[in-house]
Structure 1
Amino acid sequence: MVKTYVPDPAGMGRPISLATAAVKAWDRTKTALTPRSPFKIGDAVVGDDPFIGRREGIVVVRQRNSVGVETAHGVVFYDHRLVRQLD
């Protein structure tokens, strides 16, 4: 199999400090415990925000705790707690 990239030999085999390893482990743990959106791209949802209003659409963007919903008015971003499945 042909590789489409060449690994940089400068970074391979370099020792890292214990502090660097601890910081990387802490960042992975912190990321795993952050809230995530339960919706998948392509789900039909309705978003109800007191400022934007109620809009129905399809999930097109999914970030950590926000959801981008494609509506007739364009893409609207909602907090995942303000969005529910369309029945």
Structure 2
Amino acid sequence: MVKGSVEDMSGMGRPISLATAVMRTWGRTRNRVQKRFGPRSPYRIGDAVVGDDPFNGRREGVIVSRQGTSVGVETAHGVFFYDHRQLKQLD
């Protein structure tokens, strides 16, 4: 992507105030904490599960991807994506 402006390199190495350093650190830490306590799937990649959904149907397979609450289940017919609440552990 092309930037409309170029960063001034003369400011590199300059000391910053304590308040600025704390705010930068707080912003990074807050994002990590929010992501850690956000909704996520309890299943791991490689777990054998059964997905039951009125649109995708009932399918058995292995988890191949996780993104938040969405889980990709690889079956004999391809990869189907389910919400983690629609999955059950395969016995």
Tell me which interval the TM-score lies in, with the shorter structure as reference length.
Answer: 0.7 to 0.9
Secondary structure class of the residue paired with 2:55: coil
Out of 30, 33, 41, the position equivalent to 2:34 is 30
- TM-score between the two structures when normalised by the length of structure 2: 0.72
Flag the structure with larger Rg: 2
- TM-score between the two structures when normalised by the length of structure 1: 0.75
Cα deviation for residue 31 of structure 1 reads: 0.6
Q: How does 1:1-87 map to 2 (within 5 A)?
A: 17=20, 18-87=22-91
Cα deviation for residue 15 of structure 1 reads: 5.4
How many angstroms apart in 2 are the aligned matches of 1:33 and 1:42?
23
Which AA in structure 1 matches 2:81? F
The percent identity for this pair of structures is 56
Secondary structure class of the residue paired with 2:46: coil
Which 4+ residue blocks in structure 1 deviate beyond 6 angstroms?
A: none
Structure with the higher helix share, 1 or 2: 2
CA RMSD of aligned residues (A): 2.2
Secondary structure class of the residue paired with 1:36: coil
- Structure 1 residues without counterparts, runs of 5 or longer: 1-10
